């Protein structure tokens, strides 16, 4: 069974047209599956409905019609307890690394926030005093946060600093670390490198590949850039004006696109030098 199943979903929003209110569909009859351990690249121009599909998978937006299932659970029928469990299993990484981090919080607080929300078993002995248990828990959380920092290529000193002290690429690494804190099965990556320059973006994409191998992660990678999607993805789904127009294995689809819209997307985004270099190194 697929980890994510999207079955004939529609999403419409009301829009005023003169004196009448009409429904405007932004996602139209989309069906797709994401298998455990793969990367599905969802590609299309701005406004094609990619982010709306991602929000429905995350349970942030309910479909107007159709069904979304994650790990076999229909999100529309899930209990509060089931949704809490599922939200631990799927985490987003957003487009803008500057807006995604609270500038008033230190990195330690940002990275450990998911543990505070969902609870962290620090393994402290019940025989210790309350103060000692709190100290032990703080120490345990810092140790785990340090391990997360190292996984994304940063060191422990980053924990005591604020987001404005980091570059865009470093901030996106912090966002990825926070997303990994609960050890999810699925990461929703919504244009995670579009706000970064090409070379830094290629480094982040390579980091994502390494993390996927290490932790067996499943990715939904959303982008308008075919070269990036081709490099990272197992399969590619192409969206145009709210509809899914073509799906296939990444290499095959890019080499032999059937739909004119897919052909135009490939022609409009020539191979990026940093991605070509990353592909050569990976090979």
What does the mean pLDDT of the chain come to?
Answer: 88
pLDDT surpasses 60 at 124: no
Give the tens place of pLDDT for each residue, 162-180.
999 999 999 999 999 999 9
Architecture of domain 4-104+162-282: 3-Layer(aba) Sandwich (3.40)
Query: What share of the chain has pLDDT > 90, as a percent?
Result: 67
Q: 3-state SS string over the chain?
A: CCCEEEEEEEEEEEEEECCEEEEEEEEEEEEEEECCCCEEEEECCCCCCHHHHHHHHCCCCCCCEEEEEECCEEHHHCCHHHHHHHHHHEEEECCCCCCCCCCCCCHHHHHHHHHHHHCCCCCCCCCCCHHHHHHHHHHHHHHHHHHHHHHCCCCHHHHHCCHHHCCHHHHHHHHHHHHHCCCCCEEEEECCCCCCCHHHHHHHHHHHHHHHHHHCCEEEEEECCHHHHHHHCCEEEEEECCEEEEEEEHHHHHHCCCCHHHHHHHHHCCCCHHHHHHHHHHC
Mean pLDDT of 131-142: 77
pLDDT surpasses 50 at 123: no
Instruction: Write down the pLDDT at residue 136.
Output: 74
Instruction: Write down the pLDDT at residue 89.
Output: 93
pLDDT band at 217 (very low <50, low <70, confident <90, very high): very high
pLDDT band at 1 (very low <50, low <70, confident <90, very high): confident
pLDDT surpasses 50 at 105: yes
Give the tens place of pLDDT for each residue, 41-59.
999 998 899 999 999 999 9
Instruction: Write down the pLDDT at residue 132.
Output: 66
pLDDT band at 31 (very low <50, low <70, confident <90, very high): very high
Instruction: Write down the pLDDT at residue 271.
Output: 60
Q: Where are the domains of the chain?
A: 4-104+162-282
Give the tens place of pLDDT for each residue, 182-203.
999 999 999 998 888 888 888 9
Instruction: Write down the pLDDT at residue 275.
Output: 53
Query: What share of the chain has pLDDT > 70, as a percent?
Result: 89
pLDDT surpasses 60 at 280: no
Instruction: Write down the pLDDT at residue 109.
Output: 94
């Amino acid at each position: 069974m697929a980890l994510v199943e999207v079955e004939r979903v529609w999403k419409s929003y009301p829009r005023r047209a003169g004196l009448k209110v009409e429904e405007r569909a932004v996602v139209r009859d989309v069906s797709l599956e994401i298998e455990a351990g793969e990367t599905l690249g969802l590609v299309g121009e701005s406004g094609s409905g990619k982010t709306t599909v991602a929000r429905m998978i995350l349970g942030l937006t309910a479909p107007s019609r159709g069904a979304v299932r994650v790990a076999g659970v229909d999100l529309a029928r899930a209990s509060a307890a089931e949704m809490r469990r599922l939200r631990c299993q799927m985490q987003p990484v957003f487009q803008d690394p500057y807006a995604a981090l609270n500038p008033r919080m230190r990195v330690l607080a940002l990275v450990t926030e998911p543990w505070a929300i969902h609870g962290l078993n620090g393994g402290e002995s019940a025989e210790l005093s309350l103060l000692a248990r709190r100290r032990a828990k703080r120490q345990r959380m810092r140790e785990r946060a340090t391990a997360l920092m190292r996984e994304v290529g940063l060191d422990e000193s980053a924990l005591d600093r604020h987001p404005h002290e980091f570059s865009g690429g470093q901030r996106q690494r912090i966002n990825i670390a926070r997303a990994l804190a609960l050890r999810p099965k699925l990461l929703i990556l919504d244009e995670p490198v579009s706000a970064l320059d090409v070379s830094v973006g290629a480094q982040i994409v390579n980091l994502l590949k390494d993390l996927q191998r290490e932790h067996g992660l499943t990715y939904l990678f959303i982008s308008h850039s075919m070269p990036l999607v081709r490099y990272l993805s197992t399969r590619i789904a192409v969206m145009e004006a709210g509809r899914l127009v073509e799906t296939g294995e990444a290499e095959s689809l890019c080499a032999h696109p059937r739909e004119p819209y897919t052909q135009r997307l490939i022609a409009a985004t020539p191979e990026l030098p940093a991605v070509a270099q990353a592909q050569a190194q990976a090979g």
